[in-house]
Structure 1
């Protein structure tokens, strides 16, 4: 069984398909499964303590989201992304997530701002330590604290869909190497985004988040870990 599956919690018998979808989505977004990696429905169902049926339904939803795909041999796997596909996805993310940050700068309330401040501080002060999984979680918490502050749930859901596709690449990279953190681009962009949102500067907030996404994509592509195409 895939080691990542052993970390999945057993599910209560309620909305099992939705719960299976949520847990599989988290595996993808957090980079705990790699591009090209196959997922066994039987292994997933055993890890979650449910029958195969809700897992199959959840997987079908993820295939419809294009977060998973069916290989020619009928195996379910995480899609392999080429450099050009990853670059395209990063361009879209920079535009959409940058817009969400711009909205957050003008729409956020005091409570939303406090949440963004807390999320930025947690990663900046090194709470992630040597735990790459914690770094991934804190980075995601910061971004989605901003997107929630935009006040448009439909937009947040769209962004979550983009993260489903990007997560196996961007967060697998972060899990395997702390070079991206040590380079400092992420923390600088996060600090700039926070300062802009605090000041109500929509243009600066948009630029900071777009730069964060673009620099991460450049870093990953320059490492040569993605197939050309």
Structure 2
């Protein structure tokens, strides 16, 4: 079934007659939508974890080849991300991670402090012991990466994202979490300019201090201290990125 469905999708992509005889077109649509959802999830994770940098370009064909699917689900996934301001389509139909002007970066930083601060305060009150342990586990992974002789910036970024999102999920406010995720779709690539600035940045930055303070406050059930540590984390990372003078005016 999987082989036939993939072929049907390619037929639709190529504009030929459609699925093979006997294959229900409703099944084709369902499977295609499932593929689009999977591709959307993969691309979203790429952006959230900062594995794509501002200005980085892709082609639909290149993305389809890398993911191992036809262009149709990739096109649908990209369209969703464009609507969320996470990607943009250029006149030559290339897909680009948007550049982030300094003013917009500063605006998003203020909004993040508000929304993520609220999620952090709420998580302190609502998190289960298991959820606290999950956040602490990601904090340890980040600290372990930071303590390596040559820290991997990409790995540090993933651990950082996982820590923050585990904390925000623990607030049990799905609408707020969705709003934060939308912000991270835009801000995630800019974090390339922080953790991937080089091993020294991972070692010498303040993120591990802020993370440890967040976990300590979470375990102590101290909402104000947790929010203070979270805001300091966002603000110090933002100051470093702004100091590099690589964001356009």
TM-score, structure 1 length as denominator? 0.88
Matched, 1:75 2:94: yes
Contact 1:180 1:186 in 2 (8 A): no
Q: Is the 8 A contact 1:180 1:219 kept in 2?
A: no
Gaps of 5+ in 2: 1-30
User: Which residue, 201, 204, 208 being the options, matches 1:180?
Assistant: 201
- State the alpha-carbon separation in 2 of the partners of residues 219 and 127 from structure 1: 17
Which of these residues, 119, 124, 133, is aligned with residue 154 of structure 2? Answer: 133
Q: Residue 221 in 1 paired to residue 246 in 2?
A: no
CA distance in 2, matches of 1:125, 1:74: 41
1:172 CA displacement: 4.6
Distance 1:41 1:172, change over 3 A: farther
Separation in 1 of the partners of 2:202 and 2:49?
A: 16
- Bigger shift: residues 12-21 or 164-173: 12-21
CA distance in 2, matches of 1:26, 1:158: 15
Per-residue CA distance 1:98-150 (angstroms, 9 max, x = gap): 11110011111111111111111121233773322211111111111111111
1:69-148 matched pairs, under 5 angstroms: 69-126=88-145, 129=148, 130-148=151-169
Q: Which among 176, 183, 186 is matched to residue 162 of structure 1?
A: 183
Structure number with greater Rg is: 2
Question: What TM-score results when the alignment is normalised by the length of structure 2?
Answer: 0.81
Paired position in structure 1 for 2:216: 195
Match runs of 1:14-29 below 5 Å? 15-29=34-48
- How far, CA to CA, are the matches of 1:127 and 1:177 in structure 2? 11
Once superposed, which parts of structure 1, at least 4 consecutive aligned residues long, lie more than 4 Å away? none
Alignment match, 1:50: 69
Equivalent in 62, 75, 79 of residue 60 of structure 1: 79
Where in structure 1 are there 5+ consecutive unaligned residues?
1-11
Separation of aligned partners in 2, 1:141 and 1:38 = 25
Aligned to 2:225: 204
Higher relative contact order structure (alpha carbons within 8 Å, sequence separation ≥ 6): 1
Counterpart Cα distance in 1 of 2:93 and 2:107: 27
CA RMSD of aligned residues (A): 1.9
The count of residues paired between Structure 1 and Structure 2 equals 217
Tell which deviates more after alignment, 124-133 or 20-29. 124-133
> How far 1:212 moved relative to its partner?
0.4
- Choose which of 157, 163, 171 in structure 1 pairs with 2:192: 171
